[in-house]
Amino acid sequence: MPAYRHFALQAAAALLVFCLAWPYYHFRASPWNWGQLSLAIGAVALLAAHFARQPWWWRLIHGAFAPLLWLGLQLSLPPSLPLAIFLLLFLSFPGAVSGRIPLYLSSPSTAQRISPLLPQHSSLLDIGAGIGSLLLPLAHQRPDLHLAGIENAPLPWLLGKLRCRSIPRLQWQWGNFWEHPLDAYDTVYCFLSPAPMEALWHKARQEMRPGSLVISKAFLIPGIRPEEIREEGGDPKATLYIYRIPEGAR
């Protein structure tokens, strides 16, 4: 769901609760109970998110937003605190708003599972490299590889830069992977979300050499049959989908 719809959902929940609350408090001639109202808005938003088939974390955010806002106001927190929290979140998760690609990290075992798929002395680019959770262990396991990562969220990029600074054959880059050419890499690794997969395959086919690999963790490219699927312990989030760029793709 695009970001503006999340705002609209919260606004609609608040409006509905205010419309019901106004006659209620008016006829009882009692002051508005903002604590109860915030809980009611949270409950309506939670229900709406449920019916909009949002993933569990969005339901949680919608359910908790209004009550936490009210709680924050009760605690008389300094007004700069919400701004600081917003900035921190925005610097860490801009991809979640702009491209519906949040930050979550590959487990250390992912590098172990990917390593056997990569030819000797080949190159790999992690698009949306997070804090280097894949690249760093891979660099230690496979000193023959040429590794690169590109990330556009400021805080994860900075953390990744610091973590990877001692490995010269690991290029840690700042930028938007949609604007980054893929033709120099034998393998592109991605752990993104369902939203960009179709467009990503289009880009990879246009730019990558035939025979190169696209390895996607957790997310299928719709309508494209993977060359191989590697599952792990029945956890769909750990599944690796391996795609090979066909001949004559460009």
Binding site for ligand SAM (CB under 6 A): 95, 99, 101, 103-106, 126, 128-130, 133-134, 150-153, 156, 176-178, 191-192
* Nearest distance in Å: CB 99, ligand SAM: 5
Nearer to ligand SAM, 145 or 150 (CB): 150
State how far the Cα of 231 lies from the Cα of 233, in Å rounded to an integer: 7
* Nearest distance in Å: CB 26, ligand SAM: 48
State how far the Cα of 191 lies from the Cα of 214, in Å rounded to an integer: 11
Nearer to ligand SAM, 66 or 131 (CB): 131
Nearer to ligand SAM, 151 or 186 (CB): 151
* Nearest distance in Å: CB 146, ligand SAM: 17
Nearer to ligand SAM, 154 or 211 (CB): 154
Nearer to ligand SAM, 22 or 178 (CB): 178
* Nearest distance in Å: CB 135, ligand SAM: 8
* Nearest distance in Å: CB 61, ligand SAM: 17
Nearer to ligand SAM, 10 or 133 (CB): 133
* Nearest distance in Å: CB 50, ligand SAM: 24
CB 1 within 8 A of CB 61: no
Give me the residue whose beta carbon is nearest to ligand SAM. 128
* Nearest distance in Å: CB 137, ligand SAM: 10
Nearer to ligand SAM, 47 or 103 (CB): 103
DSSP labels, the chain: --HHHHHHHHHHHHHHHHHHHHHHHHHHT----HHHHHHHHHHHHHHHHHHTT--HHHHHHHHHHHHHHHHHHHTT--THHHHHHHHHHHHH-HHHHHSS-------HHHHHHHGGGSPTT-EEEEES-TTSTTHHHHHHH-TT-EEEEEE--HHHHHHHHHHHTT-TTEEEEES-GGGS--TT-SEEEE---STTHHHHHHHHHHHSPTT-EEEEES-PPTT---SEEE--TT-GGG-EEEEEPPTT--
State how far the Cα of 219 lies from the Cα of 241, in Å rounded to an integer: 7
